[in-house]
Amino acid sequence: MSGAKNRMRNKKMRDQPGNVTYSSPGWRNGGDTPAGRTGEAQHVKGHGLPHQGGGWVRGHQSGGSVYPQELPKYITSSYFARARAAEVKAMLKAVNKRTGSCHTFGALPKHMRRRAMSHNTKRLPTRLREGAQRMLEKSLLTGKKKEESKAKSRKARRRHGNLLLEFNRRQRKNMWLETHIWHAKRFHMLKKWGYCLGDRPTFKCYRACYRAMSSHCLLQDLSYYCCVELQGPEEELLSALSRLTSKDAGPTFAAVQCLSGRRQGSVVLYGSDQYPAQPLGPVLFLWRPRCEGSTDRQLWIWGHPTLKQDLLSELRAVCQCSEAVLPVPVHVPVPEPTPAGAAEAAAIPPKGPAQKQASSRKRKRAEQDSDGLPAKKIFGDGTRSPTCPVTWKSALTGIVINDLTMEIVRYRLIGPLSHSVLTEALCPATDCDVEAKNRQSCFWWPEHSKQEQNMALHREQTDVFQLLKGVYSSTEIPGGSVLGLTVDDPRLTLPRMRCKAEPDLQQAIGVDEEKRRALTLQGVPEHCCQSALWDRNVRDNATDNKITEKELNRMRSELLVPGSCLKPTPPQGRVPVLLVHQPGKQLGQEMPSWGAGWDLLLPKGWGMPFWVPLVYRGVRVAGLQMSAKHSQHKGAPHFPHDYPDCIAGARFQDEQQAELMNKFTRRPPGKRTNYIKHGCLAPFRCPWQQLVEEWVEIVKETGEGSDAQTGVETDGVPPRRFSVLRSRKVMRQLSVWCKPSSSKGQRLQRAPQPASLCPATAASLWASHGHSLVWARFSLLAKGRPELHAMVCVPTDEDLRLLSKEPRCMGPQEPLHVDHFRKRVKSARKGKKKKGGKAKGASEEQVVGSDGVAEKPDSTSDPSQRPTEQPSSVPALTQNQEVVSTPSRTSDGDTDATPASVAPSAPAPAPATEERLVLGLWPEPLPSVTSHCSRVTLGWVTQGDFSLAAGCGEALGLVSLTGLLQALLRQPPEQRGLLLLRNPSSLQYRFAKVTIEA
C-alpha cells in the first residue's frame, strides 16, 4: 500500500493507546492499531509501523489470509479511557462545528444544503427558518444583498443599452473624444491631461506617416484642445488682452490681418504685465468677422488642456469677470402622444396581469441611466458637474467669458493634398426648395436660407471652396486663411470603397485662373470668413437634430441603385463648418511651408460622421507621438515638452523624470547604464536653473561682464528665474551670428543686417538677457542619432583643428569617469544579506533594496567623499583639457589607481543623510553641470532623432544665451556655429551645426 494511505491512517489513529498487547500478530484491542508495537515508547504520534506482510491493505490480507477474530486478553484502562475521550471530543466538535461562513445554512450537513435556501427560507428545516429569516432581514437593511449579478454574460454586456451605460460611466473619470472607440480599436491609448487619447497605432507606420505629411495627408483629432470664447466691446477686449502679450515677441491679438477675421493668429501668453517672466504657453486665436452695426466682437482662444486653468484665471483677472453665471438646468420634456398614436393605443386591447408578467420576462429590460431617463451618448465634457459654472461676465467692462471645452470638434489635416481630401469629402449645402422655405421648420438651415443675403454669402463661399480644386498644393494658400462654409452630411456621399484623394486636373482646367491667383495671393475675402458655427443656437440645433445611423441605413435600403447618393438631402443634413489653414514651417530658409494643411472645425456630435468620410479618402491617421514628430520636423517647439519656463512645462518635466526613473529602477542593477561613469549628471531631467546661474558666474569671474551687465544678484536676493528668449529682434541677431562667414546665400538677404558680433554687443545682450535660454536646432555633420537629454557642449581649439583636417571625423571622446558610490552601494547590499540585524558596522551602511537603492552614508566615512577644495568654476573654452591620472581612494580605504584614459569625477559634495543613493546615478545636490566633463556644457536636447526630412540626425534643444555668445566669440569666423553633441549613455562626442531660426 502506498505511503500516503499509511500517513492518512496513522493520522486517524494518533490518539489510540499503544500498550495493548495481542496474543498473536494481527489486530488487537478490537481497534486499528497495527501489530509489531509492544510498548508506549514505540507509539509516536503521527508515525505508525506498517504490517509485516507488506503494509496496510483493505479487505483480505495478501496471500489469502483473513482478519483474526480473537480479542485481547487485557487492556490498560487509563490509556483506553484517554483514547475514547479523544474520539468523543472529536465527534462532538464535528457535530457542533459550522462551516467557514456564519450563516444558518452552515449548521446543516453538506448533503442537505441547497443553493435555493439563500433566497427561500422555506426550504430550510423548521428549526432553522427563524434564524435564517432574521439574517435575511438584516442583510436587506444593511444593503448587503446584491440587486443584480456583476458578472454578466458577454452577450448581455454587449447589448447596445448596457454598452452605452458602461461607456457613459467610464467617461465620468476621463473624457473621451468622439473618435475614442475608433481609436481604441487601432491605437495604443494613454490617459493624459484628463483625456483618453491615442498615442500611436498598433501597427508599424512611422515612415508611412512621414510620407503622408510630405506628399499626401495626415489626419489628427485635436478636439482635446480647450476653447475659450470672449465676447464684448472690441476696445475693452484689446485693452485687456494687451496685458498678456508683448509686441517684442511677435504679432499680438491686435494684428490687422487677424483682427479682421481673415487670419488665424498664434501668440505666447504671459502673466498679467509680467513679460518676459511667467509665461503661460502658446495659444491659437481667431476673431469673428465684424458684423454691420455692432461694436461687439467675438474671439476664440485655443490652448492646450494643461494651461486651461491658468489661462482662465488670467483672462478672468484682466477682463474683470468675477461674476459666475450658473448653468440653467435642462429639463427633458416628455413627448405627448399624437392623436394618431392615441388612436393606435386605444385600438390595442389592454393586457391582463398574466399577459404582462409573461411578456415582461421575454422583453429586454429598458436601459435607463441613474436618473431614470433613457441613456444617451455623451457629447462634450462628461466629467463636468452640471452645477459647475462655464460662463463669467463683468458688469464693468461688458465682457463675457465662455468655456467651450469639448463643444467644438477640431480635426487637423497635414500635407500638401489636404485640400484635395476636403474637396472630395465635403459637398457645399444645397438650397432648400420653395415649399420648405414657406413653412415653419424646427431645423436651422431652412430658417437660415429664408434670407437672401445669407444665401448670397453661401454661394460666394461655395465658389471660393470650388477654387481649391484648382490648387496644386496647400502651401499655395496664405497661411492662417479662414473660410466659412455650410456642407451637407458627408455620410450621404460616402464612397462604397476606400480610395485615395488626388488633384483632379480636369476640374482644375475649368477653374477661373484670375480668381485662383487672387486666392493664392490675397487669401479668402473677409466677408467669406463668416460662418454660422459662431452661433451657439445653430450649433446646438445641428447637434440635436443629427440624422441617426438607423434612419440613415433605412434611407439607404430604399435606394433603387445601391451605393448611389441619397437625394434629396434631408433638411437636418446641413452642418456649419470652418476651414482654417495651417501655415506649416514659417521660420528659417530650409523646407519653407513644410507641414502645411487645414483645420476642420465642427459642432459637437458630428465627429464620427466627418471622421469616417475623411478616412475613406485615403488619409493616414496619427496620434500624440506623430504630433511631436511633426513639430520636430518643422523645427518648432512642442508644448509642453519644450517649454520648461512655463508651469505646464515644469510639471511635464517632473512627470517625465518620474517615468524615466521608474523605468530605470525596474531593470536589474547589473543591466543598468552607469551614468556616473559616462559623465552624465542628470540623464532624466535638465537642470536649467543651475545651468544659467553657473554661466552667469562664469562670465562674472572672467571679467567679461560687470554685475550690472550680467544681471548677477547681490547677496540676500534670490536668483532670478530663467526664461526662454522669444524676442524676434534678438533671435534674428543670433541667427546671423551663428552662421559662418562663408555660408551660402548670406549675401542675398535683403533684410537689414544686424550689428556684427563683438564683445560690446555681447555685453549688451548679457545685461538684458543673462538668464535666458535660446531655442536652437542642431544638425549632425556625420553619422549619429541624437537622443533625449543629450548634452550640447563647446568644442576646444584642438577639436576644431581636427575637424578642419578631417571633415568626416567622428569627434572627440569623453574619458571614462570614476564611480565613487559603486562600492558603497555594493557593500551596503551585502550588509543587508547578513544576519543579526544590528551589526557592529550597521550604522555606517545603508539599507539597500532589491533595486540597488540605498541611503547615503556620512561623507566622512569615505576619503574620496570628504570635502575638498573645489576647482575653479570657470572652464577653459579654448585650451585643451587634459585628463590627469590621479589616485583615488575607494570606500574600503584602498588606493585605486585611475588609468590615463579614465577621468576622475568631480569631487562629490557632502551628501545629506536623508537622501538615497541609486546605483549609476549622481545624488542631489549635483556638482557643477558646466565643468563636470572634459567639454563645457551649454545645454541639453529636448527632441532628437534621425530626421527623414534632412537625411541626418537632428536635434532640438535649449542652450544658455550667455554660454552661446561666449562660445561664438572664441570661435574663428569660418567655423562659427559648430558645437558638440553627446548622448547620455555614450562617451562619443559628435560635431553638429547649430541653427537659430527666426
Per-residue model confidence as pLDDT tens digits over 593-641: 898 999 999 999 899 999 999 999 999 999 999 999 999 999 899 999 9
The rounded percent of the chain whose pLDDT value lies above 70 is 75
CA within 13 Å, CB half, 874: 11
The Cα 66–Cα 13 span in angstroms is 22
- Please check whether residues 556 and 593 belong to one and the same domain: yes
How far is CA 696 from its chain centroid? Answer: 36
Q: What stretch of H or E contains 48? A: none
Region of residue 99 (left: phi > 0; alpha: psi -120 to 50; beta: else): beta
Q: Are 425 and 469 in contact (CB under 8 A)?
A: no
pLDDT band at 338 (very low <50, low <70, confident <90, very high): very low
- Please check whether residues 658 and 630 belong to one and the same domain: no
Is 712 within a domain? yes
Give CA separation, 773 vs 463, 778, 879, 938, 959, in Å. 48, 15, 25, 10, 5
Region of residue 568 (left: phi > 0; alpha: psi -120 to 50; beta: else): beta
- Please check whether residues 507 and 457 belong to one and the same domain: yes
Between residues 328 and 914, the one the model is more confident about: 328
Region of residue 125 (left: phi > 0; alpha: psi -120 to 50; beta: else): beta
Range among 572-576, 710-714, 865-869 with highest mean pLDDT value: 572-576
Is 416 within a domain? yes
- Please check whether residues 522 and 662 belong to one and the same domain: no
Beta strand extents in 631-732 (DSSP E only): 723-724
Q: What stretch of H or E contains 884? A: none
DSSP, collapsed to helix, strand or coil, labels residue 592 as: coil
Between residues 332 and 802, the one the model is more confident about: 802
Which of 588, 606, 634 terminates a domain? The answer is 634
Range among 97-111, 364-378, 494-508, 735-749 with highest mean pLDDT value: 494-508
Is 368 within a domain? no
pLDDT band at 291 (very low <50, low <70, confident <90, very high): confident
Is 146 within a domain? no
Which pLDDT does position 216 carry in this prediction? 92
Work out whether strand 902-903 and strand 816-817 pair parallel, antiparallel, or are unpaired: parallel
Which pLDDT does position 213 carry in this prediction? 92
Q: Which residues of 651-679 are buried (b: 16+ CB within 10 A; e: fewer)?
A: ebbeebbeeeeeebbeeebeebbbbbbbb
For the chain, what is the mean pLDDT?
78
Which pLDDT does position 863 carry in this prediction? 36
Q: Tell me the chain's radius of gyration from C-alpha atoms.
A: 40
pLDDT band at 848 (very low <50, low <70, confident <90, very high): very low
- Please check whether residues 394 and 412 belong to one and the same domain: no
The Cα 961–Cα 691 span in angstroms is 11
- Please check whether residues 466 and 326 belong to one and the same domain: no
The rounded percent of the chain whose pLDDT value lies above 90 is 39
Which pLDDT does position 855 carry in this prediction? 44
Which of 43, 75, 100 terminates a domain? The answer is 100
Above 80 in pLDDT, residue 92?
yes
Region of residue 250 (left: phi > 0; alpha: psi -120 to 50; beta: else): left
Lowest mean pLDDT among 149-153, 179-183, 392-396: 149-153
Segment 279-298 mean pLDDT: 90
* CATH number for 231: 3.30.70.1400
Taking alpha carbons only, the member of 388, 385, 422, 390 closest to residue 226 is 390
Give CA separation, 735 vs 202, 692, 727, 742, 842, in Å. 41, 20, 12, 15, 59
Which pLDDT does position 507 carry in this prediction? 67
Per-residue model confidence as pLDDT tens digits over 639-652: 999 999 999 999 99
The Cα 69–Cα 612 span in angstroms is 91
Above 60 in pLDDT, residue 911?
no
Domain count, the chain: 4
- Please check whether residues 434 and 531 belong to one and the same domain: yes
- Please check whether residues 679 and 570 belong to one and the same domain: no
pLDDT band at 902 (very low <50, low <70, confident <90, very high): very low
Residue at grid coordinates 448653468: 327
Is 656 within a domain? yes
> Omega of the bond prior to 640 within 30 degrees of 0, cis?
yes
Taking alpha carbons only, the member of 924, 919, 958, 960 closest to residue 941 is 958
0.85 exceeded by the pTM?
no
Above 50 in pLDDT, residue 115?
yes
- Please check whether residues 380 and 523 belong to one and the same domain: no
Range among 368-372, 440-444, 520-524, 711-715 with highest mean pLDDT value: 520-524
Q: Which domain holds residue 498?
A: 407-634
Which pLDDT does position 718 carry in this prediction? 64
Is 166 within a domain? no
- Please check whether residues 627 and 692 belong to one and the same domain: no
- Cα end-to-end distance, the chain, whole Å: 92
Which of 634, 660, 689 terminates a domain? The answer is 634
Is 514 within a domain? yes
Per-residue model confidence as pLDDT tens digits over 654-677: 999 999 999 999 998 889 999 999
Residue at grid coordinates 480473537: 70
- Please check whether residues 509 and 600 belong to one and the same domain: yes
Which pLDDT does position 752 carry in this prediction? 60
- Please check whether residues 608 and 651 belong to one and the same domain: no
Is 652 within a domain? yes
Segment 952-965 mean pLDDT: 93
Between residues 68 and 37, the one the model is more confident about: 68
DSSP, collapsed to helix, strand or coil, labels residue 443 as: coil
Per-residue model confidence as pLDDT tens digits over 129-171: 888 888 888 877 776 545 555 667 888 888 887 888 888 888 8
Per-residue model confidence as pLDDT tens digits over 216-275: 999 999 999 999 999 999 999 999 999 999 999 989 999 999 999 999 999 999 999 999
How far is CA 46 from its chain centroid? Answer: 62
Which residue type does 620 have? R
